[in-house]
């Protein structure tokens, strides 16, 4: 057996928030995190969106954190009663929450001591064993415990926290991606050949993605692989297939 | 015991597609379905995004279809080898796929018989016991089996199928929603009072949603309830709270 040439690191995203499920807020974090992780060599493998219900959050955390290298949560870490992510994460890990003095200090830099009320102190509660995830955007940090990284839901703040968390993440081999425009070929015209081609390249993930532009289908083929050599083999064959089928239809 | 005044119908969305997880395609269906279901009185309660892997799709289907009134899937019903949703749904229900002559007829209206290849016939495969979900946009239908509604991933087609499927859905009491602008109040200034208020209205779902506009936080409070009377009680108190706290800060 030779050493594997590629390394795979996986992740899941857990979006916590009634406001996404009700339609009030349109999620902008999933697509951002998907792009971000792809770029640094982490394979996003599953996403779940759950409501602000502790049992649901704990169940999702437990399902995801045992299966994937990392779990990124977004939402539910503010000062209000519906912000229950820290409690849920602590419960999933079977630990208590403590009040982190570093976060209290950050809060006191912007608040008068008499304004540091119980609700605001909630934002300083971190599960025992957790480490802080810096937030250059609005200062109050997220946290990481084990393989779970807990971030804010507000996109600009989430993005700042993701930058901070990424410094300590193990990353794998980046997926290399080739896009192919199928031009006027309908999916049904190349589906059979593409399926046979995909079987010849089992380590290359090959997909066909239709979209509608001005009422007409426009199809793209995408090939993804961590090994440049295998991807190159598939690339040559896909281009040849598109050229051949396009010529046949003329 | 009096009769319950409200009726709850729940749903989950299962997005099937490597292209969403890789970041290549940004999902536009979750937010649309969330709004749509809210408007017709169905509570979207969970969303999952899984890759084009049959075991993962089957596991998610089984977790969701036993828990929620309906499950809506998007993606994976085209003619190419990576379109495996029908197979996964059939496996989850323990039934075979059959070739539906009505879909073959639709395909033959636009194709020469010699172009009706094996790949295109894949789109006519429906799990035994399934019913068709009409697609006025591009004709080839989705399907429904039990409480699972299987739709395309292309947003305009998904939307057309959702319109068709909705005619046969049981709907519940619509959630009534009140939005409150917290103006210049920081969350930390009202979190404690809002938490106490939320405890007095256990049937009203009250959330606080910060967003960042031009680098400044802007907070909204949202109260949701199916009972107009209870919501009105919460509405009066939330408005009074915002007015009082705003006056105190001046």
For residue range A113-137, what is the model confidence (pLDDT) as tens digits? Answer: 999 999 999 999 999 999 999 999 9
Q: Minimal Cα distance from A38: which residue of B?
A: B22
pLDDT of amino acid A250: 79
**Considering CB atoms only, which of A20, A80, A209 is closest to B25?**
A209
Q: What is the mean pLDDT of each run of 10 residues along chain B (250 residues)?
A: 76 97 96 97 98 98 98 97 97 98 96 94 97 96 98 97 98 96 92 97 95 85 96 98 93
pLDDT of amino acid A137: 92
Q: Find all residues with CB under 8 Å of A181, minimum gap 6, and list them.
A: A220
Q: Do A177 and B22 touch (CB under 8 A)?
A: yes
**Considering CB atoms only, which of B38, B79, B156 is closest to A23?**
B38
**Considering CB atoms only, which of B34, B48, B206 is closest to A23?**
B34
Contact between B233 and B193 (Cβ < 8 Å): no
Burial label, B98 (beta-carbon count in 10 A; 0-12, 13-18, 19+): middle
pLDDT of amino acid A184: 86
Q: Minimal Cα distance from A214: which residue of B?
A: B156
Per-residue tokens: B186: 């920081």
Contact between A25 and A155 (Cβ < 8 Å): no
pLDDT of amino acid B158: 98
Q: Do B46 and A154 touch (CB under 8 A)?
A: no
| Residue of B51, B136, B207, B217 to mutate, interface with A, max A Cβ within 10 Å | B207
| Residue of B11, B209, B234 to mutate, interface with A, max A Cβ within 10 Å | B209
For residue range A181-208, what is the model confidence (pLDDT) as tens digits? Answer: 998 899 999 999 999 999 999 999 999 9
Q: Minimal Cα distance from B179: which residue of A?
A: A24
Residue B130 C-alpha, separation from nearest chain A C-alpha, in angstroms: 23
| Residue of B8, B21, B45, B55 to mutate, interface with A, max A Cβ within 10 Å | B21
Contact between B98 and B126 (Cβ < 8 Å): yes
pLDDT at A215 over 70: yes
Burial label, A62 (beta-carbon count in 10 A; 0-12, 13-18, 19+): middle
What's the topology of domain B10-166? Molybdenum Cofactor Biosythetic Enzyme; Chain A (3.40.980)
- CA dist B168 and B171 (Å) reads 9
pLDDT at A1 over 70: no
pLDDT of amino acid A76: 97
pLDDT of amino acid A2: 53
- CA dist B26 and B23 (Å) reads 6
Domain B176-248 of CATH type 2.60.40: no
Q: Do B78 and A207 touch (CB under 8 A)?
A: no
pLDDT at A3 over 60: no
For residue range A222-241, what is the model confidence (pLDDT) as tens digits? Answer: 999 999 999 999 999 999 99
Q: Do B198 and A122 touch (CB under 8 A)?
A: no
Cα–chain-centroid distance for residue B125? 25
Contact between A27 and A49 (Cβ < 8 Å): yes
Q: Where are the domains of chain B?
A: 10-166, 176-248
């Amino acid at each position: 057996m030779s050493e594997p040439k590629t390394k795979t690191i996986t992740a899941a995203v857990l979006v916590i928030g009634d406001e996404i499920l009700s339609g009030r807020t349109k999620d902008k974090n999933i697509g951002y995190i998907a792009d971000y992780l792809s770029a640094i060599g982490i394979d996003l493998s599953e996403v779940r969106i759950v409501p602000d219900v502790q049992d649901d959050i704990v169940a999702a955390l437990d399902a995801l954190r045992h299966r994937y290298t990392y779990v990124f949560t977004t939402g539910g870490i503010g000062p209000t009663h519906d912000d229950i992510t820290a409690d849920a994460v602590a419960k999933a890990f079977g630990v208590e929450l403590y009040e982190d003095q570093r976060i209290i200090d950050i809060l006191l830099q912007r608040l008068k001591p008499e304004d540091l009320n119980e609700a605001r102190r909630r934002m300083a509660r971190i599960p025992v064993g957790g480490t802080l995830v810096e937030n250059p955007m609005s200062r109050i940090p997220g946290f990481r415990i084990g393989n779970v990284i807990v971030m804010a839901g507000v996109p600009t703040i989430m993005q700042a926290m993701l930058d901070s968390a990424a410094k300590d993440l193990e990353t794998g081999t980046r997926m290399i991606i080739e896009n192919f425009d199928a031009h006027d070929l309908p999916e049904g015209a190349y589906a059979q050949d593409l399926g046979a081609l995909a079987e010849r390249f089992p380590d290359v993930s090959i997909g066909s993605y239709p979209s509608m532009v001005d009422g007409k289908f426009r199809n793209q083929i995408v090939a993804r692989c961590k090994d440049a050599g295998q991807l190159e083999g598939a690339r040559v064959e896909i281009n040849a297939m598109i050229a051949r089928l396009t010529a046949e239809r003329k």
